[in-house]
Amino acid sequence: MSTICLKKSRCVYKERERREIKSKEMEKENPNIPVYKKEEWTEEKKNELKKMVEILEDKLDGELGNHWWKIYIASAFWSNISTPINLSITLLSAVTAGQATTQNMITKDMFMKVSIASLLISTLNTFFRPHQQFMQNMDVMKKVNEYGFEFEDIYYSSKSSFEDYYKRYYLYRNLMIRYHKYRNLISPDQQNYFTDLIYYICLKSCLMNNDKWLDIDAKHMEHENEDKKIEENKEEIDIENQIEMKKIKGLELLQKKDTQAL
């Protein structure tokens, strides 16, 4: 009876999850953007909306970047723990199975130690579930990637007119609402304060000023601008050198004419 109830509850949960995914896809495809009426927007209101767009951009950029890096560090932590633990369990199980079959593979004292070690590691693996934690974090990371890529699509869209800002404002709001709803649905057992401490240490060291979603793009654009400036400076220097060479040649020609006249 209990197994039937468990199966029913799982089916109900899967159906509910499927409906939530479908409704989110519908929200994404058809965001609620009011019709733009030009006569209702004064210059003051336009400036306020542009400021709100910048605030939303900065907020989403920070939240998505922080969340992604936090999940990435947690995934790396659990991955580096689950692999050696599973390998140790496999090797110790093979040794105990070989000893049970041959009876003379290792000494009885060594067999007792191996059995206790295998039991302890298996218990830790069952309690902490590192592989399951890793897979759950990877699923969350994929979802954050989806929201991040959607944010990029909006961020790099056209900003040539106020209507673009108007549309962008409602797209950002729609994205932020869906993202916050998703964060509330994340299971509490995925919260790990030790991995959060590692993330905080990384944030204050190797991730300083690099924890936002668009930081890599911003740095790439800075490098491109620097390269363009260097090329422009080189062109200016080349032009100046050419002008100086022409001046020198002109002076030489004048000197030759003066000597010929004398």
User: What confidence score (pLDDT) does residue 31 get?
Assistant: 64
Q: Where are the domains of the chain?
A: 1-30, 42-213
User: What confidence score (pLDDT) does residue 259 get?
Assistant: 66
Q: Which helix (H) or strand (E) holds 4?
A: helix 2-29
User: What confidence score (pLDDT) does residue 94 get?
Assistant: 86
User: What confidence score (pLDDT) does residue 9 get?
Assistant: 46
Neighbours of 50 (CB within 10 A): 16
User: What confidence score (pLDDT) does residue 210 get?
Assistant: 81
End-to-end CA distance of the chain: 123
User: What confidence score (pLDDT) does residue 145 get?
Assistant: 94
Burial class (CB in 10 A: 0-12, 13-18, 19+), 66: middle
User: What confidence score (pLDDT) does residue 185 get?
Assistant: 87
User: What confidence score (pLDDT) does residue 23 get?
Assistant: 46
User: What confidence score (pLDDT) does residue 13 get?
Assistant: 47
User: What confidence score (pLDDT) does residue 52 get?
Assistant: 93
Spell out, as residue ranges, where the chain has pLDDT lower than 70: 1-31, 218-244, 246-262
The string of pLDDT tens digits covering residues 105-163 is 778 888 888 888 888 988 888 888 888 889 999 999 999 999 999 999 999 988 888 88
User: What confidence score (pLDDT) does residue 72 get?
Assistant: 92
